[in-house]
Each structure stands twice: as C-alpha cells, then as structure tokens.
C-alpha cells in the first residue's frame, strides 16, 4: 500500500527528525496514523518504509560538499568496530563507506576524531606517525 500525500508528509517529517526512530517513537507514529488518518499500519510496514528511505541514493552522496549525517545505527556500528580495531585498514573503512552510502573520507574522519576525542579525555593513546 502506497502512502497518501498527507501520510507521506508525516512520514518524511518524522524521517527528517530521526532516520532510525526508537521503538517508542515508532509506536507514537503508528498511533498518530490511526488517529489522523484512520488507518492501521504495522510496525513492520513502518520499518520497511524507513529502511527504504534510508537506502535511497538521493538521501546520500548528494554532492562533494554536502553534509551527510550518520544514523544512530551507523554510529553504533562504528562504535562497535572501533572497540574491535581503533585503526582499521582502508579496505575495511571502504566497506563501511559503501554500506552506509557515504564517502570514504566520512569514515576516515570519524575514526580520526574519535581517537582524538578519547585521547583528550585520557582514554586512548594515539599511535605516533611512522617516520622513515
């Protein structure tokens, strides 16, 4: 079932606020659909719509200079990977960039900033650069 124009406006507005809403926010959105439009949408249908929206090419890689905000799920994935390896190889970061549909530099910068932020807090020792 395709959403109506009004339903799309509500969905897109919610998507702009949070591309990966928590379960409580999803339930609130479902309640809003029931009250405003008199339709019942399943949690699975809602999640499918959000997933499709997140994966649309138009939502990512717009231009060389456009800012792309990582979703909560993507940030969680980066955090988990960081715990396993603070200095991933370029190939590993490229895979993440392709998975998240962002530029490699976005992933490289995230790791660099994460290490620097933890080092400032005294929670991480930055490896010295190799000199030959």
Query: In 1-132, which ranges are E strands?
Result: none
Which is more confident, 65 or 20?
20
**pLDDT (tens digit, 9 = 90+) per residue, 81-118?**
999 999 999 999 999 998 888 889 999 999 999 999 99
| Planar angle of CA 113, 105, 126, nearest 5 degrees | 30
Both 70 and 51 in one domain: the answer is no
Tokens 């959105």 identify what position? 29
Share above pLDDT 90 across residues of the chain, in percent, rounded to a whole number: 26
Is pTM, for the whole model, over 0.85?
no
Domain of 131, CATH number, reads 1.10.10.60
**Is residue 68 exposed (0-12), middle (13-18) or buried (19+ Cβ within 10 Å)?**
middle
Alpha carbon of 116 to those of 107, 111, 113: distances in Å? 14, 9, 5
Whether the predicted pLDDT of 125 surpasses 70: yes
| Confidence at residue 41, expressed as pLDDT on a 0 to 100 scale | 82
Total Cβ atoms within 10 A of residue 74: 22
- Based on the fold, state whether residues 37 and 66 are members of the same structural domain: no
Residues 28 and 66 in one domain: no
pLDDT at residue 130, as a whole number: 66
Specify whether 36 is located in the same domain as 75. no
Tell me which residue range forms the domain holding 30: 5-55
pLDDT at 52: 82
* Claim to verify: residue 128 and residue 79 sit in the same structural domain: yes
Q: Is the pLDDT of residue 62 over 50?
A: no
Q: Of the candidates 32, 39, 29, which has an alpha carbon nearest to the alpha carbon of residue 3?
A: 39
- Give yes or no: residues 13 and 78 share one domain: no
Q: What radius of gyration do the chain's Cα atoms show?
A: 19
Same domain, 78 and 118: yes
């Amino acid at each position: 079932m395709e959403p109506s124009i009004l339903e799309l406006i509500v969905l897109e507005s919610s998507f702009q606020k949070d591309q990966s809403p928590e379960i409580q926010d999803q339930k609130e959105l479902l309640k809003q659909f029931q009250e405003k439009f008199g339709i019942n949408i399943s949690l699975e249908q809602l999640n499918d719509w959000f997933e499709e929206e997140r994966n649309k090419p138009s939502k990512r890689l717009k231009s060389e200079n456009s800012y792309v905000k990582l979703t909560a799920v993507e940030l969680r994935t980066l955090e988990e990977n960081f715990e396993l390896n603070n200095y991933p190889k370029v190939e590993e970061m490229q895979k993440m960039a392709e998975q998240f549909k962002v530029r490699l530099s976005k992933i490289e910068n995230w790791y660099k900033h994460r290490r620097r932020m933890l080092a400032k807090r005294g929670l991480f020792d930055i490896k010295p650069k190799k000199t030959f």
